[in-house]
């Protein structure tokens, strides 16, 4: 049902929505800019290479991210055109489910990376799959429970058309706690990566000569650390949003949630694709600089289970 009101009581919410929308436009610009910046690498390292699971994961995260950023920008963008209740529902549930779907894709990428770093250990692979499934299912169940009574609506407030929704206080709190299972997964994966990197470099010190995998582990560690730093910021913002003071529609709170959401967009759709590009770029440079054209001979990457030299993570 469409809500129509010219009551001044809604003016703080309109200011909140305006402030929030500025950050959403910024998130869209950041995703498109990063895509344009890395498109040359994408063509060389993804489109021109043999297709694999990681190629599909990259393209899904990258291009779904661009579409999502467009929808997300429109979510709280104040329009002068009519929005229907149906479109409000569609936009809301896409916005609600997309982080779970994309974080699952990123979980598959992380699983492949850790599996490679642990030299193809079947035990670590099974463990990671079980934890990722548990995290995804928990997040999905929490989202369903939080939105059982959610209804998207068109709000016409003082002439502004906004996609709104009706949600009780418990549902709002549960929506903000959905990232907790994913946070547990990310922390676990991060510590597994740190442990194997430390162990690997300790072993390298005992070798009389260097190893080609040393640089590879360094690239993995750097890209993972950057990704985790952004994810940690997103998690911190989510935890902070549980404070009762953020239940008020103020310009300051609009800025806070804008920073939160632009951080999440950067984590999923900028840092996520770069997890794959960074390793493939390193591997391509290593191949081009090698007289024999061989590299990474001790780390398994491809789905077929044997030792690979493609750096497909």
At 263-289, the pLDDT tens digits run 999 999 999 999 999 989 888 887 777
Q: What is the mean pLDDT of residues 58-76?
A: 83
What burial class does residue 224 get, using C-beta atoms within 10 Å of its C-beta: 0-12 exposed, 13-18 middle, 19+ buried?
buried
d(CA 52, CA 302): 8
Residue 298 contacts residue 119 (beta carbons within 8 Å): yes
For residue 72, the surrounding DSSP H or E stretch is helix 53-75
Q: What is the mean pLDDT of residues 160-186?
A: 81
Residue 278 contacts residue 219 (beta carbons within 8 Å): yes
Q: Is the confidence at residue 148, as pLDDT, over 70?
A: yes
pLDDT of residue 79: 53
pLDDT of residue 295: 42
d(CA 264, CA 195): 26
- Please give the model's pTM, rounded to 2 decimal places: 0.85
Confidence of residue 142 (pLDDT cuts 50, 70, 90): very high
Q: Is the confidence at residue 107, as pLDDT, over 50?
A: yes
Q: Is the confidence at residue 81, as pLDDT, over 60?
A: no
User: Is the torsion defined by CA of 250, 87, 171, 184 positive or negative?
Assistant: negative
Q: What is the mean pLDDT of residues 42-51?
A: 92
User: What is each CA distance from 157 to 41, 90, 152, 209, in whole angstroms?
Assistant: 45, 21, 15, 70
Q: Is the confidence at residue 312, as pLDDT, over 70?
A: no
Q: Is the confidence at residue 291, as pLDDT, over 60?
A: no
User: What is each CA distance from 210 to 137, 238, 280, in whole angstroms?
Assistant: 43, 43, 21
CA 230 to chain centre: 9
Confidence of residue 302 (pLDDT cuts 50, 70, 90): very low
pLDDT of residue 135: 96
SS3 93: helix
Q: What is the mean pLDDT of residues 87-99?
A: 81
* Least trusted range by pLDDT, from 31-40, 115-124, 204-213: 204-213
- In the DSSP assignment, the letter for residue 246 is G
Residue 143: count other Cβ atoms within 10 Å of its Cβ. 17
User: What structural domains does the chain harbor?
Assistant: 3-286 (1.20.1070.10)
d(CA 252, CA 250): 5
Q: Is the confidence at residue 28, as pLDDT, over 60?
A: yes
d(CA 240, CA 149): 25
pLDDT of residue 299: 42
Q: Is the confidence at residue 194, as pLDDT, over 80?
A: yes
Q: Is the confidence at residue 183, as pLDDT, over 90?
A: yes
């Amino acid at each position: 049902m469409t809500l129509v009101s010219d009551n001044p009581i809604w003016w703080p919410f309109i200011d909140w929505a305006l402030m929030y929308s500025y950050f959403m436009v910024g998130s869209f610009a950041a995703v498109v800019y990063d895509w344009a910046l890395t498109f040359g690498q994408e063509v060389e390292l993804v489109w021109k290479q043999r297709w694999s699971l990681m190629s599909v994961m990259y393209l899904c995260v990258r291009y779904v991210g661009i579409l999502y950023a467009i929808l997300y920008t429109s979510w709280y963008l104040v329009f002068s055109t009519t929005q229907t209740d149906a479109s409000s529902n569609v936009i809301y549930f896409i916005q609600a489910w997309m982080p779970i779907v994309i974080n699952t894709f990123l979980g598959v990428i992380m699983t492949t990376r850790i599996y490679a770093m642990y030299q193809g250990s079947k035990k670590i692979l099974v463990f990671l799959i079980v934890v990722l499934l548990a995290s995804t299912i928990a997040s999905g169940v929490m989202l369903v429970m939080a939105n059982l009574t959610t209804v998207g609506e068109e709000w016409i407030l003082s002439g502004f058309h906004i996609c709104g929704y009706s949600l009780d206080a418990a549902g709002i709190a549960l929506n903000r706690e959905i990232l907790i299972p994913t946070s547990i997964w990310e922390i676990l994966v991060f510590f597994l990566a740190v442990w194997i990197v430390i162990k690997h470099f300790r072993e390298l010190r005992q070798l009389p000569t260097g190893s080609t995998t040393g640089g590879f582990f360094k690239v993995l560690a750097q890209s993972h650390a950057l990704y985790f730093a952004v994810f940690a910021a997103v998690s911190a913002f989510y935890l902070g949003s549980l404070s009762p003071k953020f239940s008020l529609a103020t310009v300051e709170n609009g800025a806070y949630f804008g920073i939160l959401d632009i951080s999440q967009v950067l984590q999923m759709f900028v840092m996520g694709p770069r997890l794959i590009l960074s390793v493939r770029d390193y591997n391509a440079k290593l191949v081009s600089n090698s007289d024999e054209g061989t590299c990474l001979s001790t780390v398994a990457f491809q789905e077929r289970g044997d030792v690979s030299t493609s750096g497909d993570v």
